[in-house]
């Protein structure tokens, strides 16, 4: 549970690298929370990320940073502080944050991962599930700590693997569930608002 003494709303920054469909589902959810949860910033490492279009559509401030340059981290942290960001949602964000960065937002960064963690941390989750002939896969929302995809699990959703599945079809079915799971997980950790 994230504790925000005295807070009557939460400012969220969503970090993306690609299509941003999870970002879209978080924005849609936030718009139904009577301004209790506000998606205030969209941050990306990739200026070509398709999800950046939601900045214009929903009038949300966006910023692009080169996360490979660690000297930038101070700028990012300052920008988050300036915008009074309470929580960071990683949504298809394909960079690893430094331990220093994670410490600064301890317990306030969450991530969505397309597998049933602790199985299949890292990349190419769907192909690895198929290669191992697993009957189920799914998605997980978890807190971010300094070990990749290893923080405390908030919520998971199981998805059945079908005989005819390819990595692409499985990814698509899981992504649909991610769009439901991520808002539920955000709501769960902000229950005290």
Chain positions contacting ligand GAR, by CB under 6 A: 16, 18-22, 51, 91-92, 112-114, 175, 178
Q: Which residue is nearest to ligand GAR (CB)?
A: 92
| Minimum distance of ligand GAR from residue 73's CB (angstroms) | 20
Whether the CB-CB separation of 193 and 13 falls below 8 Å is answered with: no
Catalytic (active-site) positions:
113
| Minimum distance of ligand GAR from residue 129's CB (angstroms) | 13
Q: Which residues pair with 64 in a beta bridge?
A: 44
| Minimum distance of ligand GAR from residue 106's CB (angstroms) | 20
Parallel/antiparallel/unpaired status of strands 37-44 and 61-64? parallel
CB atoms within 10 A of CB 183: 22
Q: How many residues does the chain have?
A: 193
Instruction: Decide whether 19 or 130 has the Cβ nearer to ligand GAR.
Output: 19
115 φψ region: left (φ > 0), alpha (ψ -120 to 50), beta (else): beta
Instruction: Decide whether 9 or 173 has the Cβ nearer to ligand GAR.
Output: 173
Instruction: Decide whether 34 or 168 has the Cβ nearer to ligand GAR.
Output: 168
| Minimum distance of ligand GAR from residue 18's CB (angstroms) | 4
Instruction: Decide whether 34 or 56 has the Cβ nearer to ligand GAR.
Output: 56
Q: How far apart are the first and last CA of the chain?
A: 11
Beta strands in 20-94 (DSSP E): 37-44, 61-64, 87-90
């Amino acid at each position: 549970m994230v504790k925000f003494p005295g807070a009557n709303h939460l400012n969220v920054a969503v970090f993306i690298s690609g299509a941003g469909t999870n970002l879209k589902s978080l924005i849609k959810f936030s718009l139904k929370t009577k301004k209790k949860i506000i998606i205030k910033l969209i941050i990306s490492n990739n200026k070509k990320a398709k999800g950046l279009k939601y900045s214009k559509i929903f009038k949300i401030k966006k910023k692009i940073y080169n996360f490979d340059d660690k000297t930038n981290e101070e700028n990012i942290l300052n920008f988050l502080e300036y915008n009074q960001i309470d929580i960071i949602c990683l949504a298809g964000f394909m960079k690893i944050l430094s331990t220093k960065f994670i410490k600064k937002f301890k317990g306030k960064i969450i991530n969505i991962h397309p597998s049933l963690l602790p199985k299949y941390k890292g990349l190419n989750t769907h192909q690895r599930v198929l290669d191992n002939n697993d009957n189920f896969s799914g998605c997980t929302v978890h807190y971010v700590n300094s070990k990749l995809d290893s923080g405390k699990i908030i919520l998971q959703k199981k998805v059945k693997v079908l005989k005819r599945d390819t990595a692409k079809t499985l990814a698509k079915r899981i992504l649909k569930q991610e769009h439901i799971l991520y808002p539920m997980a955000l709501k769960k950790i902000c229950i005290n608002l």
